[in-house]
Structure 1
Amino acid sequence: MFIKKYYEEFELEETRETLGRTITETDIVMHAGQTGDFFPHHMDAEWCKTQPFKERIAHGTLIFSVAVGMTAQVINEVAMTYGYERLRFTKPVFIGDTIRVKVSIKDKKDHKRPAYGLVTELVEVFNQKDELVMLCEHILLTEKKQ
């Protein structure tokens, strides 16, 4: 779905949430192949049994990319990604975990180009136990109403 939501229309503390998505072994294998990250933490079930978490963990970059994709339910024709900041992986995600994403408008400020503003979204990813597993700030370059 396409919308036009201008800088002035974003409200602080406004939130939206996604549905859940279960992380599979296939997700991990595909991500390893795409990135070249075959570290044993992600790929070697037997080795992981000797480690503190006792099982394979999903790549942080996999969780980040899946979470960002989950939030792309609506295309805002007057905004684009300006960048991501303060990315943190607070808990591991395991095969079979189901993640969901909560996005909250955290900040708004003017941009050096007067026709635009910057909208900062707090992106929080939770597992099926409601534990925070990842968070970051997503910055949108958003047109102002003319």
Structure 2
Amino acid sequence: MPYSYEPQYFEEYEVGQTFESAGRTVTETDFVMHSALSGDWTELHTNRHYADDEYFGERVAHGPMTFILATGLVFRCGFLERTVVAFLGMNYMDIPAPVKMGDTISLDLEVVETKPFSSRDDAGLVVIDSEMTNQEGETVFAGDMKFMIKTEP
């Protein structure tokens, strides 16, 4: 399965269509950049000595960072390039296991709904289920992402 896809307009999405992202390894830099951008320097994520003695036994990614990593993998696939108008939210989001520094993550995606908007004819709704796993195949993020996608010009 390819990891890079051509941009798609609303009409090109079909329920059941799947995509798979390339993988990426989560680094110390990712942790620092997320903390710097968000202002969240919680010690569970940023203090190795503190985190070693806590529940997970090591630093783990912030929950919002896990979500951001998932959205980054979606956009890296390319099918939303220049056709996405907006990210409209999620009906559900789960983070059943932590992302740890050094994990290699990837994302499996499936289109679960497409729906024209009654209020506009230049875009439609596409809902995509996502599951992010680590190198062990453990699910670290799951959720449905709702996008407003341009219709074909």
Tell me the TM-score normalised to structure 1 length: 0.87
- Shifted more, 28-37 versus 1-10: the winner is 1-10
Equivalent of residue 136 in structure 1, options 131, 139, 143: 143
Equivalent residue number for residue 34 of structure 1: 37
Higher share in strand:
1
Equivalent of residue 68 in structure 1, options 71, 76, 86: 71
Conserved? CA contact 2:25–2:105, under 8 Å: yes
Conserved? CA contact 1:118–1:142, under 8 Å: yes
Equivalent of residue 103 in structure 2, options 85, 94, 97: 97
Amino acid at match of 1:107: E
Tell me the TM-score normalised to structure 2 length: 0.83
Equivalent residue number for residue 84 of structure 2: 79
Q: Segments of 4+ in structure 1 off by > 3 A?
A: 1-4, 75-79, 143-146
Q: Assess, with a 3 A threshold, how the Cα gap between structure 1 residues 10 and 2 changes in structure 2: closer, same or farther.
A: closer
Once the two structures are TM-superposed, the CA of residue 87 in structure 1 deviates from its matched residue by: 2.2
Amino acid at match of 2:147: L
Structure 1 gaps of 5+ residues are none
Conserved? CA contact 2:85–2:150, under 8 Å: no
What is the count of residue pairs matched by the alignment?
Answer: 146
Q: Once the two structures are aligned, what percentage of the paired residues are identical?
A: 29
Q: Deviations over 1:1-52 (max 9, x none)?
A: 9956333321111111111111111210121111110111101112222222
Alpha-carbon separation, structure 2, partners of 1:133 and 1:2: 24
Structure 2 gaps of 5+ residues are none
SS at match of 1:38: coil
SS at match of 2:112: strand
Alpha-carbon separation, structure 1, partners of 2:139 and 2:83: 30
Q: Which aligned pairs between 1:121-132 and structure 2 lie closer than 5 A?
A: 121-132=128-139
Conserved? CA contact 1:105–1:119, under 8 Å: yes
Alpha-carbon separation, structure 2, partners of 1:51 and 1:4: 44
Alpha-carbon separation, structure 2, partners of 1:125 and 1:110: 28
